[in-house]
Amino acid sequence: MSALDEIVGYLARVTFEDIPGTTVERQKELVVDTLGVAAAGVRAPGVKDVLELVKDSGGKAESTLLLDGAKVPCFSATLANAFMMHALDFDDMHEAAGLHANVCVLPAALAAAEKEGTVDGKTLLTAVILGVDLVCRMGVSIPLLRGWHPTATFGIFGAAAASAKILNLDERRTANAMGIAYSQSSGNRQGRLEGTMTKRLQVALSAKSGVLASLLAQRNLTGPHRIFDGDWGMLNLYTPPQAQEDREKVLHRLTKDLGKVFLGDELSVKPYPSCKATHTPIFSMLNLMKEERLRPEQIEEVEVSVSKGCYQTAGRPFAIRTDAQVDAQFSIPYTVATAILKGKVGLDDFTESSVKEPERMSMAGRVKVSVDPELQEPSSNVVNLASAIKVRAGGRTFSRSAATSKGHPGNPMSREELFAKFESCLRFGTSFPYKRIEAAFETILNMEKMESVDLLVEAFC
């Protein structure tokens, strides 16, 4: 049996009743988080343009544009909603896989469910859990050549798996959907290095393409089945030589404990709306300021030590290039400076007017980032997120270090903290009154009781 056969069989046989209750509860929290950041993301640069594009393109009214209400073709809604969800880089992340998961899977499953019209909450949860698990499995198992973007490259398969489950495709058609997805699997990190919107856009393109793969397979279009180990499969084309030599180990990791262990349980929820590479420095700086009762005017200089991958992602001296928000999201100097000045790092700190404030620009100039050669990247997919800070303030020197930050499974957010993030997102992006925000939160946390996912969509329109 090939790896794809195992995966397709697993997708077909798992039902809601097979999934542990703890995994269901965790996934509902992740849906809360993802829909919350979508509500905030509606205000992000580029979102309005994408919404206008898909509405202007027309087509059959199948699935809803969240926070807008218009109905467009299923794959168009997936594109726009995924773009919205990832626009603020505030969505969940699997740190060991080096990727975002729900942002690819949830919009695909939700749009496909609306298109079908008879999908209940249990079915949607099952599909999303399976899709998220597959994306994370690929991320921890298949080391990509340096420069590929794992979220987009692997996310398309999670979107295809979840939408195939929603569309109730049989094993043959599901295998074809995965093969069609492989023909479109792509995504690179160059846009992230240059501070462009393709960082958020290629994730949306991945989600859209995953849905499209399932819709094409539903109509009996075919795709290759040896997508992992074929002569031109992923292991031969996308991975370094060592992975090609160790293909049996790679495939074993990919399929180990399918249907028994669900890797979505390991996702981190972000407390700050910025690249994960900024989080441990922010976390350490906020704790240091509080514990030592430091004031911003006392800060003379901050030295931050990170891995090479972390430096390449977010460590360069802060400068505004083509998009102030993107540059700030991917800047350790800017986010640490904000932590010093504001005692928090929140959504309001990434508006263009906030980013350009002279005091932030000045403080960011005092934050120096360097590479610690001892902090090695775990794999070509993953940036080592550990960091250390050294702060000179008031003639004294303080040091802190952190390997993880708040929101990691080892230091999770409570339900109260999740609601606080959810509320802040909806207040930032919508005019919903408190009672409606509270009702939306409760709707998601009880979504397994829904007879139709329309109730979920209505809560965000």
Query: 3-state DSSP helix/strand/coil percent for the chain, to nearest 5?
Result: 55, 10, 35
Residue whose pair of structure tokens reads 């509606």 in the numeric block: 42
Q: Average pLDDT over the chain, rounded to whole?
A: 95
Distance CA 4, CA 179 (A): 9
Which tokens hold the place of 186?
């792509």
Residue-level pLDDT at 322: 82
CA Rg value for the chain: 21
In whole angstroms, what is the distance from residue 377 CA to residue 9 CA? 34
Spans of the chain, pLDDT less than 50: none
Other residues' Cβ atoms within 10 Å of the Cβ of residue 147: 11
Distance CA 164, CA 131 (A): 10
DSSP 8-class letter at 230: S
Taken as a whole, the chain contains a residue count of 461
CB crowding 92-113: b at 16 or more within 10 Å, else e: bbbbbbbbbbbbbbbbbbbbbb
CA quadruple 135, 136, 137, 140: dihedral positive or negative?
Answer: positive
- SS3 string, 263-329, reads HHHHCECCCCCCCHHHHHHHHHHHHHHHHCCCCHHHEEEEEEEECHHHHHHHCCCCCCCCCHHHHHH
Token pair of 235 as six digits = 């292991």
Domains with residue ranges and CATH for the chain: 3-266 (1.10.4100.10), 276-402 (3.30.1330.120)
pLDDT of residue 411: 92
- Alpha-carbon distance 67 to 55, whole Å? 14
For residue 117, give the DSSP letter.
S
Q: What is the pLDDT of residue 191?
A: 87
Q: Give the Cα separation of 225 and 217 in Å (integer).
A: 13
Reported pTM? 0.94
Q: Are 269 and 418 contacting, i.e. CB atoms less than 8 angstroms apart?
A: yes
Residue in 302, 370, 364 with CA at minimum distance from that of residue 333: 364
pLDDT, position 209? 98
Segment 69-85, tens digit of pLDDT: 999 999 999 999 999 99
| pLDDT at position 194 | 85
> H or E segment at 391?
strand 387-393
pLDDT digits (tens, 9 = 90+) for 350-380: 999 999 999 999 999 999 999 999 999 988 8
CA distance linking residue 137 with residue 332, whole number of Å: 29
User: What DSSP letter does each residue of 186-225 carry, written as one string?
Assistant: --BSHHHHTT-THHHHHHHHHHHHHHHHHHHHHTT----S
